[in-house]
Amino acid sequence: DTAVSQTPKYLVTQMGNDKSIKCEQNLGHDTMYWYKQDSKKFLKIMFSYNNKELIINETVPNRFSPKSPDKAHLNLHINSLELGDSAVYFCASSQDQGTGDGYTFGSGTRLTVV
Amino acid sequence: LAKTTQPISMDSYEGQEVNITCSHNNIATNDYITWYQQFPSQGPRFIIQGYKTKVTNEVASLFIPADRKSSTLSLPRVSLSDTAVYYCLVGLRLTGGGNKLTFGTGTQLKVEL
């Protein structure tokens, strides 16, 4: 069983389109995250939800909107896609009391905007 | 959040011990030191975590001096499959729950025959 699963794995789309990436975790974790990894391999946190409540919102354009229907799911919707949005997006989850050891990452969604 | 500094890349040969050192001069009292491993086309994977002194598990050892301003990840007898990027992080537990991990540039370890 995949602990943190993301769909789709690859996404190629044109500028200006709207797309969504879905994430689900079956670990029973309370907190979920979205990270962005750019071409230089820097991993940056974008959002974090704890029990469906937004607790971290880094400096991310308003075009990015996370949604957490329940604590097992955290989806990412992106409006008006731009070339600079091309990256690998990772979903992750952790226990509420985690100090950094309990992160489980998904395998990533490679987004290419053309 | 404490910033970390680690070598950009390291090369090694199969069977050797590899030590990757990370500097975190402004680590806070409550911060833990955590190492993650990332293979190409995969998400990072937890390796080991420590607060002070030495921690050992089935994968690696983590050495942390008394001042905690640096740490060293030790991989015994590496193999080709250990070729990956290794990230050193210091984590701070947030009041509202969850944890905001800040990843640095990581160290690209290349293991050859």
pLDDT tens for residues A59-90? Answer: 789 999 999 999 899 999 999 999 999 999 99
pLDDT tens for residues B24-64? Answer: 998 888 888 889 999 988 999 989 989 998 999 999 999 99
Across the interface, of A30, A55, A103, the residue whose CB is closest to B94 is A55
Indicate the pairing of strand A109-113 with strand A53-57. Answer: unpaired
Evaluate whether A35 touches A45 at the Cβ level (below 8 Å). Answer: yes
Residue A18: DSSP 8-state: -
Q: What percent of chain A has pLDDT over 90?
A: 65
Q: Using an 8 Å CB-CB cutoff, list chain B residues near A36.
A: none
| Average pLDDT, rounded, for chain B | 89
A100: left (phi over 0), alpha (psi -120 to 50) or beta: left
Find the chain B residues whose C-beta atoms sit closer than 8 A to any C-beta of A. Answer: 32, 34, 36, 41-46, 49, 85, 87, 89-91, 93-94, 96-103, 105-106
